[in-house]
Every structure is written in C-alpha cells, then in structure tokens.
Amino acid sequence: MIFVTGGCGFIGSNFIIRWMESGLGAVCNLDKLTYAGNAQNLSRFENNKDYTFVKTDINETERISNLFKDLKPKAVIHFAAESHVDRSISGPKAFIETNIVGTFSLLEAAKNYWSKLNEADKNNFRFIHVSTDEVYGSLTEQEDAFSENSNYQPNSPYSASKASSDHLVRSYFHTYGLPTIITNCSNNYGPLQFPEKLIPLIIERALEEKELPIYGDGKNIRDWLHVEDHCDALIAILNKAKPGSKYNIGGINEVQNIEVVKNICELLDTLQPRANKKSYFELKTFVNDRPGHDRRYAIDPKNLQNDIGWKPKYTFTEGLKMTVNWYLQNRHWVHSVKTGEYKNWIQRNYGDRS
C-alpha cells in the first residue's frame, strides 16, 4: 500500500494510472476534490481491490493519522497542492493553507506513524514530496539550467509556498530522520490536465474559435516534461533514491510560449481544420503580462540520469502531438470539467487583459 495525496489531480491521476496498470501494488488516494480534482479520472479502478479512494483534506490531521494507522502504507507520494500561479496572485491564502500548512500536517502524521514502525519497515518507508522548478526563480537565456544546488528565489505566492514546503520536508529528514525525498519538476503536460494551464487552454480556446491569450511578448521559456515521463521518474526514485536526496526532473525541452501556441495551432490545422481554412494561429492575441512573470525555467536532470538511470522518452514534438490528439478524442472529459467556476475564472483572469 502507498498513499498518494492529490491523486485526482492532473499529475496524481496519471501517476495512479501508471502505478496500477503496471501492477506495482495497492494505492490509497487521498484527495479533497477541489475544482481541479476529478474522481472520474480514475473510475476504471472503482471495483479494483487494490484501489481505495478517501475524500479528505491533508489538514485533517486526526483522520490522516488514523489512515496511516489502519492502512500501514510503505510510502507517501505527496502531490496535493494548489498549483496555478495566476490563482495564487489573485488568492494566495489557499496556497498557504494547502501547500505549507497541509504539508506540515502530513509530515506530522507521517512522522508519528513512521516512528512506531519496526526497524526494517522504518528503513523501507519513503515520503516523496513532489515540487516544482519555480522555487528556483527565473533564469536569463544565458544562464545554466537549474541544478539541485540552485538557490531558492521564488517570485510568486505559489512558488513561495512550494519553496516553504520543500524546506519543511528537508527539515523533517535532518531533524527527525523521516526518510524524505524532494523532487522538483519542470512544466508538465499531457492527458487529464485541467484547461486553465497553457497547453489545454490553447487547445480548448482554439476549438471554440476564441482568442488565444499570450502573456507579454510570448517569449517566456519553459522546459516541458510529459506527465508520463514524470511518473516514470517518480517510480524509479521511489525504488532507488536514498532518503534525504533531492532530484530535478526535466524534459530537456525548452520552448518559448509563443512557439508552444504555434505548434498547437499547426497540429490542429492538420487534425481538425477550421471551417474557414485559416490557421488557428490567427486567433492569437497578446495580453498584459501577469505580475512577476518568470522569464525562463530550465532543468538539468543529469543527477537523476546518473544516479537512478532515468531519462525522458518523449521529445516535445512527440508528446505535444499525443496530447492534442488526446484532447480531440476525449471531448466528453473536457466538457465535464469546464464548469461554471472554470468559465468564471477564465473571464476573471483574461477578460480584462486588453
């Protein structure tokens, strides 16, 4: 049995699917089911004896502690987080409560459970904290990619909250001996991603014949990591990484935002052409940049490659085509998650950015 927090979210769902379909053991999925969590992502496992779903908040300390005691997990994979930078700018409080206080509550429950295990189970237990490259701040185009030793310089309430949680996790290893591992990944993309993030947002806006909003000059650079590659990396880390270690997980695919939008439009032009035969790229529109928008992220994953033997399978070209095809073939899923709350958010975030 492993615990997965936030398992109904984008990366968490993909991780559980990967884990279950690989026959790696039982999973208890702990999820609060906020706007970005969708239990239907994992409906295929509803009758599987190795899958358990518990709707709970990681801040419900007593309930989480009882779950540890009853189910006796060998590991925790901690995805649960508020994760959208734009939302953290307009409403930072939820990010503090979930990403910092929630991680603290989970660490406390894990520590209390772990401390009572026998020596062999203690040595085998792992707490993997899934974090982001955004904790390192912003790079210029000339600077080297982030390494595990890069300074923390978070520039948004989201990245600051994740940086805080990273420090908490590290402290529980050094102070209490809890066998924690921290991972910092680059921008994920792939199936089941909530359409507030760039790639699914552009796919959906294009198919709706709506303007494609691009912040600033569109030249912000991100390192794109297919979610399947990320999940494979986490499984390898769970099996091979030493307690107290820290690994950067990157796709080695640096692309400007404007190029991401262009590539999506070119794929849609081929896979589902517009009725007027014009390119979807004509729908692009530049909007006022968001405050504190980091210019470039880039991950150097060589330590992960050398120590664990992992490297990404997908180039961005391959992964993006797979992703666009998935959204075209799963319109029912998209329609089910695009609630009134989603529409209100899109209007609130982009509507006034002329």
**Interval 225-267: pLDDT, tens:** 999 999 999 999 999 999 999 999 999 999 999 999 999 999 9
Q: What angle do CA 160, 166, 168 make, to 5 degrees?
A: 105
- Count of helix runs (H) and strand runs (E) in the chain: 14, 12
**326 found inside a domain:** no
**Burial classification of residue 155, based on how many CB atoms lie within 10 Å of its CB (0-12 exposed, 13-18 middle, 19 or more buried):** middle
The residue behind tokens 């390119």 is 279
Dihedral pair phi/psi, residue 240, rounded to 5°: -125, -20
200 token code pair: 């699914």
Mean pLDDT across 260-283: 98
> Three-state SS for 129?
strand
- Measured in whole angstroms, the distance separating CA 350 from the mean position of its chain's CA atoms is 22
> Contact, 26 vs 32, CB < 8 A?
no
**274 found inside a domain:** no
Give pLDDT, residue 345.
Answer: 47
**275 found inside a domain:** no
**178 found inside a domain:** yes
Distance CA 308, CA 252 (A): 17
**287 found inside a domain:** no
Give pLDDT, residue 292.
Answer: 84
Q: What's the CATH number where 72 sits?
A: 3.40.50.720
pLDDT(155) > 50: yes
Contacts of 91 (CB under 8 A, 6+ apart): none
CA dihedral 349→351→352→354, nearest 10 degrees, is 120
Query: How many domains are there within the chain?
Result: 1
Angle between helices 316-329 and 257-271 (to 10 degrees): 50
Give pLDDT, residue 89.
Answer: 85
Mean pLDDT across 26-50: 93
Distance CA 1, CA 306 (A): 28
Contacts of 203 (CB under 8 A, 6+ apart): 195, 264, 268, 323, 324, 327
Q: What is the pTM of this model?
A: 0.94
Distance CA 58, CA 27 (A): 16
Distance CA 204, CA 225 (A): 20
**154 found inside a domain:** yes
**277 found inside a domain:** no
Mean pLDDT across 42-48: 95
Catalytic residues: 133-134, 158
**Interval 183-202: pLDDT, tens:** 999 999 999 998 889 999 99
**122 found inside a domain:** yes
**Interval 316-351: pLDDT, tens:** 999 999 999 999 999 999 888 876 454 454 455 545
**Interval 292-313: pLDDT, tens:** 899 999 999 999 999 999 999 9
pLDDT(354) > 60: no
Distance CA 78, CA 99 (A): 10
**Interval 102-144: pLDDT, tens:** 999 999 999 999 999 999 999 999 999 999 999 999 999 999 9
The parent domain of residue 174 ranges over 2-188+226-250+296-312
Closest residue by Cα to residue 183 from 162, 209, 198, 156: 162
**Interval 49-106: pLDDT, tens:** 999 999 999 999 999 999 999 999 999 999 999 877 778 888 899 999 999 999 999 9
